[in-house]
Structure 1
């Protein structure tokens, strides 16, 4: 017990030392001015809630949202149709209004692709990606939504530990099932802001907080689009959050192949909890940080954009901040 306690205390001390030193370095990255070209190039995404496919939202709601999608230069939307059952299957009864929604949406926004957003929090004794039969049912669910008329499938599994081979197997099987014409995308966790940081965190908490850049590359190589969830960061102050997102953007740009569309998640929701200070994680700070991170490239990257989370909580002020901070910055 004494030996174990010493190991735990040492790990906690290591995390604190790295956190303090890293925090200073991270905050320093949220400085300077982004380059003029570091802005939207028309390839952005929006997460959309379940109300669009279960009958709660109709034409009036679409009429209100469509102009914002157009003004935001949003080319892809991820519409929630899940969650998956604990065995990996998807109940089609969860999205009875999908056909009607897709028809109305495509009439209003014919150039915007619509992917079905499916997922489930992966918890002990619950949805298990390492189980062969569970993965088979998830793949069947992906085929199910593509057959229902969606342009592709957008996975969102949380948490998935760093270097989990089961996710790679799932993505390979999904691609084989839905083919190359259907879009395959996924939301992914944040990347280690400092190499090796995930190990002491996992030692103390038993969970992976971050992915390595190497694992992100392996996942991205199997996708058409990858969306980094650059929010719920546990950064307590605006400067730290801004620097963290700058760092996330630069690391993701290095890790994600250029033929894969990289999307950086932008928060537009009110949640206030242990891993999110809404006064720090603002739409304004996020978009400026992404522009600063993108400015590290010598020239614009074609397959790059942002993904706004989420339509049903985004306020008019947040939409305006997104427009002014990313789409048409001064």
Structure 2
């Protein structure tokens, strides 16, 4: 019931965006042709599901996926190893085939960095990032994943409120505990499309639907990579969704420090609920909107890519849209 109410509130927030910003203005964000340089530079990412570390998937499945990873310019993969328990612990029983998977990746895709996707719901009575002991156990879990052979740790805690001090403390403590060469990344929610909207909606909604640009910048300063979850926007049409993603891209480029690798999340899943119309939020629209938003700058930002969500639901058509629309659009146009 609580999850349903949060979805409803998020949908209300989406309506507020359209009402406050104006549907016409938002739609205009998704207009014009993207620049030829606004394409992949081969530094993309992919979220990968839990089946890789619990034994349900192995060499045969990776042999099928590997060519897409290579052709998609995917340099980083985030593999789900949890979820964490509500006290911050990570039970090793949740990933019994972790070592076999890491060996398989090293053999089949040696140039791809593999990060442990670690996270949990952040709600009252569940995992509490304001609690010192809970954060310490999360850091222990991250350290254990690095000791097991992962190249990095990818955090995914939802929902983290705007201006939450506990999450910043967790990042500081994690960075201090891990070796300097270990990649630290995190998924982050959407950015307020209009200045002050996060604060205003926070006065009426129990869960913040957006982060402010300032808080995103503060979080990003402690990370090597930031992946903006630019989906589940609640936008009812393709044009409005494209406008939202283009706007998110422009805001993220401005907010995330240039020495931090910025990734824009791309949907490749079938969910249909109050905050997602799958006919509007398509892979094809997402990557084109990212290119449009990126084209707003005078030149291509370095350390910029996309992150595809998620391997176990992405269809052949969605992979094709991703490869042709973002990874290799010139080849698609020439062909």
TM-score (norm 2): 0.93
Task: For residue 205 of structure 1, give the secondary structure of its aligned residue in structure 2.
Answer: coil
Equivalent residue number for residue 213 of structure 1: 213
1:74 CA drift (Å): 0.2
Equivalent residue number for residue 249 of structure 1: 249
1:306 aligns with 2:306: yes
Partners of 1:23 and 1:149 in 2: how far apart? 48
Cα deviation per residue 1:227-284 (whole Å; 9 max; x = unaligned)?
Answer: 0000000111100000000000000000001110000000000000000000000000
1:180 CA drift (Å): 1.2
Contact 2:21 2:194 in 1 (8 A): no
Q: 1:18 to 1:65 in 2, by over 3 A?
A: closer
Figure out how many residues of one structure are paired with residues of the other and give that number. Answer: 318
Gaps of 5+ in 2: 1-11
Equivalent residue number for residue 273 of structure 1: 273
Q: 1:201 to 1:67 in 2, by over 3 A?
A: same
1:123 CA drift (Å): 1.1
Q: 1:93 to 1:289 in 2, by over 3 A?
A: same
Cα deviation per residue 1:267-311 (whole Å; 9 max; x = unaligned)?
Answer: 000000000000000000000000001101111122000000000
Equivalent residue number for residue 186 of structure 1: 186
Partners of 1:274 and 1:119 in 2: how far apart? 23
Q: 1:17 to 1:119 in 2, by over 3 A?
A: closer
Partners of 1:292 and 1:17 in 2: how far apart? 20
Partners of 2:59 and 2:255 in 1: how far apart? 40
Equivalent residue number for residue 93 of structure 1: 93
1:199 CA drift (Å): 2.5
Q: 1:52 to 1:18 in 2, by over 3 A?
A: closer
Task: For residue 111 of structure 1, give the secondary structure of its aligned residue in structure 2.
Answer: coil
1:204 CA drift (Å): 2.2
Partners of 1:211 and 1:120 in 2: how far apart? 19
1:197 CA drift (Å): 1.2
Equivalent residue number for residue 139 of structure 2: 139
Q: 1:204 to 1:188 in 2, by over 3 A?
A: same
- Counting only pairs closer than 5 Å after superposition, residues 1-330 of structure 1 correspond to structure 2 as 16=16, 19=19, 21-329=21-329, 330=333
Contact 1:22 1:194 in 2 (8 A): no
Equivalent residue number for residue 3 of structure 2: none
Partners of 1:327 and 1:21 in 2: how far apart? 31
1:16 CA drift (Å): 4.7
Partners of 2:127 and 2:112 in 1: how far apart? 31
Cα deviation per residue 1:130-174 (whole Å; 9 max; x = unaligned)?
Answer: 000000000000001000100010000000000001111100000
1:58 CA drift (Å): 1.1
Over 6 Å off, 4+ runs: none
Contact 1:236 1:277 in 2 (8 A): yes
1:179 CA drift (Å): 2.1
Cα deviation per residue 1:105-142 (whole Å; 9 max; x = unaligned)?
Answer: 11111100000001001011110000000000000000
Contact 2:18 2:26 in 1 (8 A): no
Partners of 1:324 and 1:18 in 2: how far apart? 30
Contact 1:35 1:292 in 2 (8 A): yes
Q: 1:122 to 1:16 in 2, by over 3 A?
A: closer
1:92 CA drift (Å): 1.1
Partners of 2:19 and 2:50 in 1: how far apart? 37
Comparing 15-24 with 278-287, which one deviates more in the overlay?
A: 15-24
1:96 CA drift (Å): 1.1
**Aligned CA-pair RMSD:** 1.4
TM-score (norm 1): 0.94
Partners of 1:287 and 1:326 in 2: how far apart? 6
